[in-house]
A and B are shown apart, each in its own frame.
Chain A
Amino acid sequence: EAQVTQNPRYLITVTGKKLTVTCSQNMNHEYMSWYRQDPGLGLRQIYYSMNVEVTDKGDVPEGYKVSRKEKRNFPLILESPSPNQTSLYFCASSPRPANTEAFFGQGTRLTVV
């Protein structure tokens, strides 16, 4: 089954404790991205990757890191989480060219206390 898998689905952590949210896709897509969803603000892009070893900042990259060492994986790293990073996070992938359907993961609800 074609899918984007995120883990964990739910995470509660404390301020400053490094965490990683994993994302994996099995569709051989070149393009992957991370979004955060907040009430009233919709989906905002954090980082995206056009291909292996190629990443770029989205609209809200501060406080986040990503890596793309393999085509299928695109982890999101929070080196020192803060309460304002409490949000619902989605990973997405799509084939190139980028003007095609994006497939989203199920989401990761992160709470930073």
Chain B
Amino acid sequence: QQQVKQSPQSLIVQKGGISIINCAYENTAFDYFPWYQQFPGKGPALLIAIRPDVSEKKEGRFTISFNKSAKQFSLHIMDSQPGDSATYFCAAKGNDKIIFGKGTRLHILP
């Protein structure tokens, strides 16, 4: 019940394409869903986050789509760039607990 399942484990996208990473959760007590971006040798950093009262949040090329009834959320990166190559973690937070997905290693081909 505490798991956050993330897919795919790795993803290769051509420059200019759309990168899509999916996550699913089980615990309905979660009320905050952040995505973190991690570059090699660095700690994860918050990229974008959403609360369950909205279905979509967009910040520049990054969009979170949230489906509360299906308990799923996804990250879309539009016009993907080589600089977006990183590991992405979804997470779910609630009741002072945060659970991370296992991460997606994204590689954007130049």
Contacts and interface: CB of A to CB of B under 8 A. Distances in A.
Interface in B38-54: 41-46, 49
Given A90-B43, A90-B44, A106-B43, A101 B98 contact: no
Contacts of A43: 44, 89, 100, 103
Interface of A: 4, 31, 33, 35, 40-45, 48, 50, 90, 92, 97-102, 104-107
Query: For chain B, what secondary structure do more than half of its interface residues adopt (helix, strand, loop), or is it mixed?
Result: strand
B32 A104 contact: no
A102 B89 contact: no
5 contacts: A42-B89, A42-B102, A102-B34, A102-B36, A104-B45
B14 interface: no
Nearest to B105: A39
Contacts of A99: 31-32, 93-94
Nearest to B33: A99
Contacts of A104: 36, 43-45
B32 A100 contact: yes
Nearest to B4: A42
B22 to A, nearest CB: 15
Contact of A50 (B34, B96, B100): B96
